[in-house]
Amino acid sequence: MNNNPRTNAPWRVLIIGSGFAGLGLAMQLRKAGEDDFLLLEKAGEVGGTWRDNSYPGAACDVPSHLYSFSFEPKHDWSRKFAPQAEIHAYILQCVEKHRLRPHIRLNSEVLGAEFDAARGIWRVELAGGEVVETQALVSACGQLNRPAYPKLPGLAHFRGEAFHSARWRHDLDLTGKRVAVIGTGASAIQFVPQIQPKVASLSLFQRSAAYVLAKPDRAYRPWEIALKQRLPLLQRADRLLQYLHHEGRALAFIRFPWLMRLFRHSFTRHLQRQMPDAGKRERLQPNYPMGCKRILISNDYFPALAQANVEIVDSAIREVREQSLVTADGREHPCDVLIYGTGFTATDFLAPMRIRGLDGLELNQAWKEGAEAYKGISVSGFPNLFLLYGPNTNLGHNSILYMLESQYAYVMGCLQALREQGLRYLDLRPTVQRSYNAELQQATHRTIWEQGCDSWYKTATGKHTNNWPGFTFTYRLMTRTPELADYDCVR
């Protein structure tokens, strides 16, 4: 609960969301001596995706030392790839250490915001009718916060339990149940091995097989943790080496897609070693270029699918009945519990919030052809609005926290310009946004994501809205400070 009694005067900065993105910016504001800010969180606790995704086996697929703030290192990670509970605990630790609790309002869902150009103020409407005002509005909602549900005929007739992996039913015992899992993405490959030994049967419905590589994970030894705590330089060196290793993989994603053939051999070897059943092995062979969709890592996914109580179903679901799912081939699959591992509505960004900028322009209308922003941060016609983890800033090869830290520097530079130059608002020039995004879309044509598959990286019309088609260090250079000539600076 927010302890700050101020409710009427406009805030200097208002941040929507309290995951890594929002809390990291809050930490930078505190570091700069800025206390005039507020975070609004719709849930009852901070943490974003690491609060929501508490399904069995949830863990990060980026190394722990790389998936943490450079300005708030954690030297005692338990594993090379941290589990969900430990990452969430790290987030809570950051909140307490930097005394952010007084700046956070929990259970405060934002319905929309409207910009008052005459005052240079955003009016932010909360569920329940309260309006909060701020000079600068920062969206830190992320791309993976709204679960996507498939539209299945007859679903209303299903008499069993059904839930999304991001809304895991910890109160539901799956022991002895006939379980159907829809989806084979990053969440499913983690929770399927955890529930497989418990269930009577598991039907895994996959639209397309995933590329799964071995996960180089292990627990850190006590002496390794002690050494990094005593010599922090070792942790920074390890982080740098991991960064360089991951950044090198960008060549295969964004410049030379043919390099993915090298990784393809690793996938084939991993599959052959862990899946003795030739029939299942055939079903687990993707029919699209590696890297076109998200590459996954797991050491127990294929062994779980190899078990006798697991069936891989690659026929489309035709309808849902009271106690079963019927596929296009006419087969009926009995089901007591239905689990959606169907990911998130990643291309919708700020939806369902209604954001109105200059002259009443609505953001969803401005983005009717697909979301876009300048450097993933600013949108023309929406002054003093800054996006963190916005359009085209997601990665396929490195840590998103590196991108977030780049965005912090840019946003802090804009906030500094507003204050020092006495500006009412900064509005991105439309020509700057058009030119930037034309070049960005052109750059995606040579990436692996344009090699012949559909994915959550792009809209139904084929526009790339999620991934950054470049190196992370080039993004760091281009966001180190804002160029005010890119904006209309209104006093």
Residue 252 neighbours by CB distance under 10 Å:
21
Cα–Cα distance measured from residue 304 to residue 310, given in angstroms and rounded to the nearest whole number: 8
- State the pLDDT at residue 345: 83
Secondary element (H or E) of residue 201: strand 201-205
Query: Are 185 and 327 in the same domain?
Result: yes
Cα–Cα distance measured from residue 249 to residue 86, given in angstroms and rounded to the nearest whole number: 27
Largest CA distance in the chain: 70
- State the pLDDT at residue 2: 45
Query: Are 73 and 174 in the same domain?
Result: no
Cα–Cα distance measured from residue 317 to residue 331, given in angstroms and rounded to the nearest whole number: 10
Q: How many domains does the chain have?
A: 2
- Pick from 6, 14, 17, 18: nearest CA to 37: 14
DSSP 253: I
Residue 175's domain is classified under what CATH number?
3.50.50.60
Which tens digit of pLDDT belongs to each residue from 424-470? 999 999 999 999 999 999 999 889 998 878 777 888 788 889 999 99
Query: Are 333 and 353 in the same domain?
Result: no
Query: Are 23 and 159 in the same domain?
Result: no
Domain that holds residue 325: 153-214+238-338
DSSP 344: B
**Structural domain includes residue 2:** no
**Structural domain includes residue 229:** no
Query: Are 385 and 259 in the same domain?
Result: no
Burial of 114 per CB tally in 10 Å (0-12, 13-18, 19+):
middle
- Pick from 45, 52, 43: nearest CA to 109: 43
Which tens digit of pLDDT belongs to each residue from 56-89? 999 999 999 999 999 999 999 999 999 999 999 9
Cβ proximity of 232 and 73 under 8 Å: yes
Identity of the amino acid at 186: A
54: Cβ–Cβ under 8 A, 6 or more apart, which residues?
84, 85, 168, 170
**Structural domain includes residue 387:** yes
Query: Are 442 and 353 in the same domain?
Result: yes
**Structural domain includes residue 225:** no
Residue 422 neighbours by CB distance under 10 Å:
8
Query: Are 191 and 285 in the same domain?
Result: yes
* Dihedral angle over CA of 308, 314, 318, 322, nearest 10: 20
Q: Which of 338, 354, 386 is the last residue of a domain?
A: 338
Query: Are 161 and 139 in the same domain?
Result: no
- State the pLDDT at residue 7: 56
DSSP 10: P
3-state secondary structure of 68: coil
Residue ranges of the chain with pLDDT lower than 50? 1-5
Q: Which of 304, 338, 372 is the last residue of a domain?
A: 338
What pTM does this model have? 0.94
- State the pLDDT at residue 263: 86
Residue 163 neighbours by CB distance under 10 Å:
15
Query: Are 120 and 57 in the same domain?
Result: yes
Query: Are 328 and 352 in the same domain?
Result: no
- State the pLDDT at residue 262: 84
Query: Are 302 and 408 in the same domain?
Result: no
Residues in the chain: 491
**Structural domain includes residue 333:** yes
Cα–Cα distance measured from residue 210 to residue 284, given in angstroms and rounded to the nearest whole number: 7
Q: Which of 273, 303, 338 is the last residue of a domain?
A: 338
Q: Please spell the DSSP secondary structure of 455-490, one letter per residue.
A: -TTB-TT--B-SB--S-HHHHHHHTSS--GGGEEEE
Beta strand pairing call for 121-126 and 131-139: antiparallel
No. of H helices and E strands in the chain? 14, 20
Query: Are 332 and 389 in the same domain?
Result: no
- State the pLDDT at residue 3: 42
* Dihedral angle over CA of 457, 461, 465, 467, nearest 10: 30
**Structural domain includes residue 122:** yes
**Structural domain includes residue 1:** no
Cβ proximity of 246 and 60 under 8 Å: no
- Pick from 236, 5, 15: nearest CA to 113: 15
256: Cβ–Cβ under 8 A, 6 or more apart, which residues?
none
**Structural domain includes residue 224:** no
